[in-house]
Structure formats: C-alpha cells, structure tokens
Structure 1
Amino acid sequence: MSMFVNWLESLHVDLNITNKCSRKRNIRSTCSICFDGCKYNALTINQQKFEIISERCTSCGDCIISCPLSAIEGMSASREFENGSLIYDEGYTPSVKELLIYKKRGLHSIIIAGNSLNPKWEIVINQANRKLKFLGQNPIIVLKDVNEETLSRRNFFTSIQKEGKQLAKRLAPVEWKKEANEWKLTKYYPDYQFYTVEIDQNKCILCQACFSFCLEKVFSIRDTIILIENEKCVNCKDCTDICPEHAIEINPDIKKRSEIHATFHIKECRDCGKLFHTFQLETEKCHICKDRDPEWLSPYL
C-alpha cells in the first residue's frame, strides 16, 4: 500500500519558481510577464519576489509557457494533439509564443469540429502566421474534423493502443514531465532574432552590470569591441532593469540573426590610475572616480 501512496503523491508537484527568475536575482527587476498572464490571480508580487497561491492555481501552465527564461518548473498545459494537429478547444486560447514553438515541434494545423474558431483563436493564429512568414515557415492551417461513424477492426485496436499510451503518459509522475528551457523561442529559431538590443553610447559608462545579470549571455567583449548577439535575447529585461544609466533599449524585431559591434577605448583613470573602458575618447576618469563626491578626501592621495 505504501508504494501505491507514494505513487499517488508523485502525481502532483507544485509549481516551483527557480533561481533563474529575474525577481530572485535582480532587486531592480520589473519583470511581471507570468503575473500579467495569470487569469486566476494565482501569482502575487511580494516586494521583489513572486509567490504562488496554490489554492488558486489551476495548473493551466500559462505561467510556465510565458516566462522568457523558463524559470518556472512544473507540468505545462495539457493540449490534445493528433498526428501533428492541435485539437481546437474553446476552454483555453494558446499564446502566439506557444504556437510558434508547437510549429517547430511538428504542428501543421488546427482541427476544429464545429463551424468556426472563436475570435480569440482567430487573432492568435493570424498573429502567429504573420510571424511564421518572417521566420520562413509555412502557416498553420485550420482543418474541419471529419469523424467516421464506424472504425475498421484495425483502426479500432490502433485507437485503443494509442489511448493506452496517452493514459500512461498522463499517469507518469509530474517530476518526470518537468521541462527545462523548453519554452524559449531562441532554442527553436536559432537563426533568427526576436529582439534588437541597443546601447546608447552617450549614456553607457561600461560598468558591465548588464554582462553579469544577463543569463542568456547576449553581451561579450572581444579585445576593444562589445559584441551584442541579438539572437540570444528573450526580452527578460534584466539588462535594462540593472543599467544605472538607462542606456539599454530592447526593441521587438523579427529578422535574420545579426550581431552589433561597438568599439570602445581603454584608458587610464587620471585619479586612481586604473585602466577603464569608455566609449568617449575624451573621458579622463573611470565611472567610480567620476561619480565620487569631490568634497570627500580622495583615497588615492
């Protein structure tokens, strides 16, 4: 009996917000994508942390799918598929991001049993197809379901076998179903970028705080060049939130992947004598000495 009880307990695992969450790593984080997308108010913001209200959570999986960093662990939403087709269900509306990922997983159509999709589904499919065009993919089409009233003997047993496999999958412990990094668009479309990251060189002091907080490693330095790899950006906004000079801007922009190269200078600080990076050739002090109160006694005297 204890083995059976342990099995039943394994069927349910609460959602877990991992340490990849911007709110857990960055005190300045403004990310609220999962919070804004939760229809059941099951997420709350407590200071700089998200909390899940378990009694409100329906395990719909929308927060897991929406998180740009795949920072939420748990079982994602259960959707019904049939031979590369998503079965239409008025009980939910998929997101554009969800359909783009399903497309790379083999989705080619939506099957509908009635006469038409509801307006929400139509909007999402149209938006997804416009993006798929940019991404060089065929559109997702809508097909009307044609059910045969009778099944052949062979089809009957094939159907039973398939339902048995689906049942086994549904009964598998949730721990086995947890997916890591499965909901990042950058994983499925590595040759494209969804955002363009721009640095205002007149504001940037090259403190490199954005380098440290970017989990996707969008920024890197090669000799005297800053390299921005736009295809890695997931729009988590860690870089814009941490930047003290508000010098970074992220713009939605679907196109072939591109890199931005920004040349900087290496200079010796006039006050502390240490080497520092700057975009401005005429700058003579590092950003620490530049911001130091002149009335304070200099530590370098």
Structure 2
Amino acid sequence: MGFLIRWLESLDYDYKILSHCSRYKSPLSSCTECIAHCPTEAIQLQTGKPVIHAADCIDCGKCVVSCPVQAVEGFLPRRSIINKQYIMDSDNTPTLNELLVYYKKGITTIVCTEKYMSAAWEETLEQVNQLLIQLGEKPFTISNEQPPSPHHESMTRRELLFTWEKELKQFAKKMTPAKWRFNHENLDVAKHYPDYQFVHIYLDKSKCTLCKACQMLCPKSCLQINETNFTLVAQQCSNCLLCQDICPENAISLKKMISTATTEKQPIYTKECPCCEKTYQTINEIQQLCVACQKKQQFSSSIIEQSINCKKEESSWQI
C-alpha cells in the first residue's frame, strides 16, 4: 500500500497551456478567456502568450472549462453529482458550457440544499435554461430534496475485495494527470449538440482576398477553401475569434447565437485581370482586377488624393 501511495503522489501534475492555444498559434490572437476566469491571477501573458504560475494556482480548474479550444490541461473543477443529480454549491457556480455538457450526459436535475439560491446561481440557471429551450430541450429541474446516498449491503469477502479494487481504481483516476483521465474535447459543447451551431460566421465578400490564413489557423476547420468554393461550417465553431483576429482584410466577424446547423458555400470565380492579364480567383462576383492590381490602383488613387489636398492647402496659404 505504501508503494501505491508513493506512486500516486508521483503523479502530481501542474496545469499547463497546450500548443494549440490561440495565442500560441498567432500573436494576433485576442483571446483572454483563461486569464479572465482565473480567480488568483495565476495566468499572465509573457511575450503575448499565457503562462500559468504554479505557485499562485489553486487548482480550481476554471481555466480548463473556459478555454474555447480546450487548450488548458489540468483537473476539472470538482462537482458533486449523486444519482445523476447535480448538488448545488453556492460558492462555486459552473459555466454555461459545463451545464450544457452535463445535461447531455443525463444530469438534468439540480439540487438546491440551501434555503435560498445565490444570485449567481439564479442568473446562471436562467441563462442556461434559455439556451436549452433554444436547443429544443427541456429546462433543468430544480429540486430541494437531497438525493439518498447509495445503499450499502452486506458483501462476501470476494465481493468486498472487488469493491476495494474498484474504489482504488477510481481513486487513482482522480489522482492521475488530467491528460490521462479526461479528454478535454468532452467540453466541446458543439459535439454534444450536432444539430445546432452556437456562432454565426459573417464573411464580407467585398474584402476577402482568399489568402487562406483563416483556413490554415482555424482549430476546428470551420473555414474551408478549395478551387470552387469557400465553405463556412459554423457548427464546430467555439468562438475563439482567431479567424477574426488574423484576417488581414477584416473580412471575417463572429457573433454568438444559437441556430440550426448550416453549411454556407460561397462560389469562387476564376477571372483574368485586364490590367496584368494574369488569372486570379475571387469570391466577389463584381471584382474586376486581381488583388495586386487592385491594391496598386488604390495606392495610386491615395497618392493622387494626397497631392490634390496638398495643392489645396498651398492655395489657401497663398490666399
């Protein structure tokens, strides 16, 4: 038993940020979800990247559940669940995403053991129930009755040994690193509600130049560009905002909203530029010039406009 305890203690594990974090993928990322949800300010930006300082970390797990791309590795917040019922803890309010995932796992009742529900819980339940209604589900059931503890019956020696072994394994699972005992992708709400999307992706066809930066960096493959179409698959989008942040033309914007999952396809047109006579592709049907010639034309127009303004200023000085 002493060897087992030493082995379990050797599995002590610090929270860490994984390489698929939006800020690790691009310095243009604006995501600060883990920082905003950390109650002890244990997560700080260093050269634009979030770093967890273990000395200040209290292992609350709020960074794990708040990350839109599941890029924080560590233990999830401890929740009390008995007989498929969530026991409310007035000091720890779960996120909406947690509750939506629990709901799909069959935990549809929340037990309030206090005389009065906290304001934070009331607000959270109101919000999550509104989301569930939009998702075609029934709201959470609220109960004031404490669920009964599992009934213990007399067991044979063999059954007792089996029970100890089972409990020991469960204990080990709780002690072992999160990357062994928990798949972070389980917190991806979109996978639990495949018929709905939680974000709408807006694409400005007049600005997009098909540079493919969004396609290369999107962690969920929501933006797909081939020879014939620019396809938007918003169902998997978790609103990490990376595509919006890195788009050089500001052609992409995201908005949180629940709607039926749809796939939007924008046709890609192949044209010949009348200026340089080279073939180019665009999703803007009325675009006449290739991107390079278009920018040259805009630059020339800007120079001419500046020259005209300078002459006007000179004339006003002379007057």
Give the TM-score band, short-chain normalised: 0.7 to 0.9
The answer to whether the aligner puts 1:283 opposite 2:288 as a matched pair is yes
Q: Which moved more, 1:82-91 or 1:167-176?
A: 167-176
Task: Decide which structure has greater helix share.
Answer: 2
CA RMSD of the aligned region, Å? 2.8
Identify the residue that residue 63 of structure 1 maps to in structure 2.
Answer: 63
SS at structure 2 position matched to 1:239: helix
Identify the residue that residue 134 of structure 2 maps to in structure 1.
Answer: 134
Identify the residue that residue 200 of structure 1 maps to in structure 2.
Answer: 204
How far apart in 2 are the matches of 1:251 and 1:70?
20
Alpha-carbon offset, residue 181 of structure 1: 1.1
1:27-38 superposed matches below 5 A: 27-38=27-38
| TM-score scaled by length of structure 1 | 0.86
Selected match of 2:180 from 176, 195, 210: 176
Rg larger in structure: 2
CA distances 1:39-83 after superposition (whole Å, capped 9, x unpaired): 111111123200101111111111111111101111111111011
How far apart in 2 are the matches of 1:142 and 1:92?
17
Identify the residue that residue 154 of structure 1 maps to in structure 2.
Answer: 153
How far apart in 1 are the matches of 2:227 and 2:177?
49
Alpha-carbon offset, residue 179 of structure 1: 2.2
- Structure 1 unaligned runs (5+)? 295-301
Identify the residue that residue 91 of structure 1 maps to in structure 2.
Answer: 91
Structure 1 residues 152, 209: closer, same or farther in 2, change over 3 A? closer
- Structure 2 unaligned runs (5+)? 157-162, 301-319
Alpha-carbon offset, residue 229 of structure 1: 1.1
Alpha-carbon offset, residue 147 of structure 1: 6.9
Alpha-carbon offset, residue 243 of structure 1: 0.5
Q: Which moved more, 1:217-226 or 1:72-81?
A: 217-226
What is the one-letter code of the residue matched to 1:111? V
How far apart in 2 are the matches of 1:216 and 1:132?
23
CA distances 1:247-276 after superposition (whole Å, capped 9, x unpaired): 111111101111222223112344373533
Identify the residue that residue 24 of structure 1 maps to in structure 2.
Answer: 24
In the alignment, is the contact (CA less than 8 A) between 1:13 and 1:175 conserved in 2? no
| TM-score scaled by length of structure 2 | 0.81
How far apart in 1 are the matches of 2:207 and 2:43?
36
Alpha-carbon offset, residue 170 of structure 1: 3.0
In the alignment, is the contact (CA less than 8 A) between 2:233 and 2:264 conserved in 1? yes
SS at structure 2 position matched to 1:202: coil
Alpha-carbon offset, residue 185 of structure 1: 1.0
SS at structure 2 position matched to 1:228: strand
How far apart in 2 are the matches of 1:100 and 1:21?
23
Structure 1 residues 25, 105: closer, same or farther in 2, change over 3 A? same
How far apart in 2 are the matches of 1:234 and 1:117?
30
1:106-255 superposed matches below 5 A: 106-146=106-146, 154=153, 164=167, 167-221=171-225, 223-255=227-259
Structure 1 residues 153, 48: closer, same or farther in 2, change over 3 A? closer
How far apart in 1 are the matches of 2:90 and 2:209?
51
Aligned length: 289
How far apart in 2 are the matches of 1:167 and 1:67?
26
SS at structure 1 position matched to 2:184: coil
